[in-house]
Structure 1
Amino acid sequence: MSKPTYLYKIIPSSDPPPEPLPEKLPLSKLDSSSGFIHLSTAAQIPGTLKRFFMEEPLVYILKISYDPLEKDIRWEDPEAKVCGERGGEGMFPHLYNGGRLGRGEVESQAVWENNGVGWDQALERAESWLIY
């Protein structure tokens, strides 16, 4: 797989990002306990939403340019046990930079609604916004 243009951070409605985005976003409980920031590629967004965010009425999606963070990204399995080549099957981008993710790294953000029927409609509407 080629180098991604963007990575994405999914934030649940229960923990909305502050407006305006600060220099450094607060870490989620998961990111704090993991020691890195969990990110997804555009191709991984549908599965991540369906696996971990089905009960959320809406999510905030942050679009992050890959190139400036590349040196701090490790491609790992979901438990961060196996490091591998960029974008390999089952490998997720994990950001190891001391928890720094904020307005300087986020290019844009979107709010997607579940509408009680799953994420398919939101994904269809966001098709042009997600960069694969």
Structure 2
Amino acid sequence: MTEPTPPKYIYKILPSCPPPPTPLPMSLPLSDLDSRDGFIHMSTSVQILGTLKAFFNNAASIVILRVPYERVESRVKWEMAKGKRPEERGGCWDTEGILGGFPHIYHAPDGELRLGREEVQDSGTWNRVGETWSQEGWPFGSDDLPKES
């Protein structure tokens, strides 16, 4: 059986207000969800539109952090949250497991649960165009465009 090819990038979605500091610190503050679950919730380009529609559908814009997978690969676990609601520990919107596991970043070798300037390649503001999130407005050009699931 062939191993799946890892993604080139994984993404962290942040509310646009307040924007993250520039330059990024060594470690951004954890969201309440990440603190509660003990890992940093990330998405691939195939998962990101569903994540936006489930958790950021009322937002007009978000900030998205692009993380080269190779920078965090040793700290990533691909996990399902089957049968969980978003508010439950380890929950996610993909309760049927249709899209496969989600990349979750765990503690660094120093024991810190961290995402910051050493992991993040770049960031951009993504403005929703129209009633729902789509590829329009993607802040990284044609590189790794989000895909409709």
User: TM-score by structure 2 length?
Assistant: 0.74
Instruction: Spell out structure 1 runs of 4+ moving beyond 4 A.
Output: none
CA contact (8 A) 2:76 2:103 kept: yes
CA contact (8 A) 1:57 1:116 kept: no
The correspondence for 1:60, drawn from 60, 63, 86, is 63
**Larger CA deviation: 16-25 vs 55-64:** 16-25
Larger Rg computed on CA atoms: 2
CA distance in 2, matches of 1:11, 1:106: 13
The residue that corresponds to 2:53 in the other structure is 50
Query: What are the ranges of 5 or more consecutive residues in structure 1 without an aligned counterpart?
Result: 82-87
Query: What are the ranges of 5 or more consecutive residues in structure 2 without an aligned counterpart?
Result: 82-88, 92-97
The residue that corresponds to 1:28 in the other structure is 31
Alpha-carbon offset, residue 29 of structure 1: 0.7
> How do 1:6-21 and structure 2 match up within 5 A?
6-21=9-24
User: TM-score by structure 1 length?
Assistant: 0.82
The correspondence for 1:128, drawn from 125, 134, 142, is 142
CA RMSD of aligned residues (A): 2.1
Code of the aligned partner of 1:107: Q
| Identical-pair percentage | 45
| Matched positions, count | 124
The correspondence for 2:132, drawn from 99, 103, 118, is 118
The correspondence for 2:101, drawn from 80, 88, 91, is 91
Code of the aligned partner of 1:111: T
The residue that corresponds to 1:84 in the other structure is none
Q: Which has the higher strand share?
A: 1
